[in-house]
Amino acid sequence: MGNFVAENSIVRTIWGNSDLVLLVFAGSAAEFALNRAVDWLFFTNQLPQDPIGRLFSTALFAQEIVFVDEATAQGTLDRITAIHGAVEQERGRRIPDWAYRDVLYMLIDYSERAYRLLYRPLKPREQEELYEVYRRVGEGLRIPDLPASYAEWQADRRLHLERDLAYSQHTAKLYEQYRAHLGPWRYALLLQVQALLAPAEVCQWLKLSPAPLLVPATWLYGVYDQLQLRPLIQWLLLPSRYLDQVRQLDRTVSA
């Protein structure tokens, strides 16, 4: 039985680096809050109640797919499908297919954006590889109508961004929870990171704009890494109760 994701894959590089995983979820947190299906997150109340805890549980699910063999990955995908099915049954409604695609598309897009922010743009073959892995994840979750290629996904992603975003009372409530769990200055930093990562449509809805000095700071990331300052940076930027969970995400420390 082979691995679900090849050992030298860019997807393993991204999902084995805790800093990149945190960036993926920082960006997704902005877009999640604007999604027209965000009311599903409030039905279970798990994300609004503990947004950072949900981040880590979702990241562990992702690693249980990326770093295992085909059969184990499919088992994890089946568990996720069953969880969603139970929520749908309890609510008496189905989560729309387009909402499933939205979430999958966020993970694809922010994986690429996070890697570009800290390291470099993905090469064309890496973009195709990234999409191919996530397409297989989507198929394992029984998400219909997935694009056949990275180029087709880019076009569909733009359509989803134009159609599926709206500012609502749920958006405001989620951001209140982000602030409550992070504290004022870490919350302000989250907004700045989101401004660097998010597509223009998301930034416009949320009125996000990056501080001029933040972009040069990201260029120093490689220096922090080489000087082994990542633990110190994480200690400064994250509430201490989450540090062990963050460091457990590291499978490949540098890209």
What is the 8-class DSSP label of residue 16? T
**What token pair was written down for 66?**
């990326």
Is residue 255, in this structure, part of any structural domain at all?
no
Is residue 213, in this structure, part of any structural domain at all?
yes
What is the 8-class DSSP label of residue 94? P
Read off the pTM. Answer: 0.89
DSSP for 212-231, please give it. TTHHHHHHTHHHHHHTT-HH
Q: Which pLDDT does position 255 carry in this prediction?
A: 42
CA distance 128 to 136: 12
**What token pair was written down for 228?**
């082994």
Which 3 state secondary structure label does DSSP give 165?
A: strand
Is residue 3, in this structure, part of any structural domain at all?
no
Is residue 70, in this structure, part of any structural domain at all?
yes
Is residue 129, in this structure, part of any structural domain at all?
yes
Is residue 151, in this structure, part of any structural domain at all?
yes
Angle between helices 18-34 and 97-118 (to 10 degrees): 140
On the CB side of 226, CA atoms within 13 Å amount to 5
Q: Which pLDDT does position 55 carry in this prediction?
A: 77
Contact present, 108 and 31 (Cβ < 8 Å): no
Which 3 state secondary structure label does DSSP give 115?
A: helix
Confidence of residue 225 (pLDDT cuts 50, 70, 90): low
| Side chain identity, residue 44 | T
CA distance 176 to 101: 26
Confidence of residue 198 (pLDDT cuts 50, 70, 90): very high
Is residue 5, in this structure, part of any structural domain at all?
no
For the stretch 112-129, pLDDT in tens is 999 998 889 999 999 999
Tokens 């963050």 sit on residue: 246
Backbone phi, psi, residue 239, to 5°: -55, 140
Q: What percent of the chain has pLDDT over 70?
A: 86
| Nearest one of 93, 178, 185, 111 to 150, comparing CA atoms | 111
Contact present, 149 and 232 (Cβ < 8 Å): no
What is the 8-class DSSP label of residue 242? G
Sign of the dihedral through C-alpha 53, 138, 160, 211: positive
Mean pLDDT score across all residues of the chain: 87
Is residue 254, in this structure, part of any structural domain at all?
no
The yes-or-no verdict on residue 238 having pLDDT over 60 is yes
Q: Which domain, by its residues, includes 96?
A: 10-248
Domains held by the chain: number: 1
